[in-house]
Amino acid sequence: MASEEGQQHPLSVYFWIWGLLFVLSFFSYMVDYLNFQGNLRWGLILLFMFLKAGFIVAIFMHMKWERLALKIAILGPPVAIIVLIWLMSLEGFYVEETRVEYYGESTFEPESPHH
């Protein structure tokens, strides 16, 4: 009984994901072509970007077939960084709002130097 050195995945999986990436790219380009504005535009762009990146990492970088410990070791730090950046942005909004509430709107105008 011979042992296999590596895993062999059917090529159809790669072709399906390749086609799905084309479809997601088409939708991503349609966001710009249809001229969406504001938060909807950026939300859709980010959604399609994360979906495409997720499929590429899962299938073409073979993450789907790895052990859970390796998945967590590779994907954990970027997720932790994203969470920390999100928390910092929340803190920034809180600090800005409390400063405006405490000090009021700024009426500071720099003085010109006297010569």
Q: Would you list the domain boundaries of the chain?
A: 9-65, 67-103
Separation between Cα atoms, residue 107 and residue 109, nearest integer Å: 6
Distances (CA, A) of 86 to 44, 72, 82, 93: 19, 20, 6, 11
pLDDT by residue for the chain (115 residues), tens digit each?
Answer: 444 566 677 889 899 999 999 999 999 999 999 999 999 999 999 999 999 999 998 888 888 888 888 888 888 898 999 999 999 988 988 887 887 777 777 666 667 777 6
